[in-house]
């Protein structure tokens, strides 16, 4: 389960960033997780909540924003929502030439005190 190692990295990053500013506690953390990122958002949340105990994130509100997959058809240029990397265009049933969204996994913001 790589979500647990990602959660550990997020805690380390948050701790490092808060330390740079002299903060001792984080109140809120916002993370974007794309549907095509390969990260199972609920498993990641569980791992983050579990590992946050006795850390700078112990009392933080955790917000996870899901970013839908978004592809552009290689034939008809239709832009469409993708649930999986192998989804085809709903109009012409071709594979996308480009995936424009849904691959994100990033720490968006921290609110600290």
- Residue 1: predicted pLDDT: 56
Report the number of distinct structural domains present in the chain: 1
The conformational region for residue 77 under phi > 0 = left, psi -120 to 50 = alpha, else beta, is: left
- Residue 104: predicted pLDDT: 95
Query: CA 67 → CA 24, 58, 70, 82, 83, distances in Å?
Result: 30, 25, 9, 11, 11
- Residue 56: predicted pLDDT: 92
CB atoms within 10 A of CB 29: 24
Answer whether 2's CB lies under 8 Å from 41's CB: no
The residue behind tokens 């808060």 is 18
Task: State the residue range of the domain holding 47.
Answer: 2-112
pLDDT, one tens digit for every residue, the chain (113 residues): 589 999 999 999 999 999 999 998 999 999 999 999 999 999 999 999 999 999 999 999 999 999 999 999 989 999 999 988 889 999 999 989 999 999 999 999 999 98
Helix/strand/coil for 62: strand
Answer whether 57's CB lies under 8 Å from 23's CB: no
CATH number at residue 68: 3.30.2320.80
Contacts of 102 (CB under 8 A, 6+ apart): 34, 35, 36, 37, 67, 68, 69, 70, 82
- Residue 113: predicted pLDDT: 84
Contacts of 78 (CB under 8 A, 6+ apart): 72, 89, 90, 91, 92
């Amino acid at each position: 389960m790589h979500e647990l190692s990602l959660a550990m990295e997020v805690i380390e990053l948050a701790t490092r960033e808060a330390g740079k500013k002299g903060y001792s506690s984080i109140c809120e953390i916002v993370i974007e997780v794309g549907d095509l990122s390969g990260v199972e958002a609920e498993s990641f949340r569980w791992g983050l909540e579990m590992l946050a105990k006795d850390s700078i994130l112990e009392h933080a509100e955790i917000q996870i924003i899901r970013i839908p997959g978004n592809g552009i058809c290689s034939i008809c240029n239709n832009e469409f929502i993708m649930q999986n990397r192998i989804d085809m265009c709903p109009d012409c049933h071709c594979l996308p030439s480009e995936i424009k969204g849904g691959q994100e996994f990033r720490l968006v913001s921290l609110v600290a005190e």
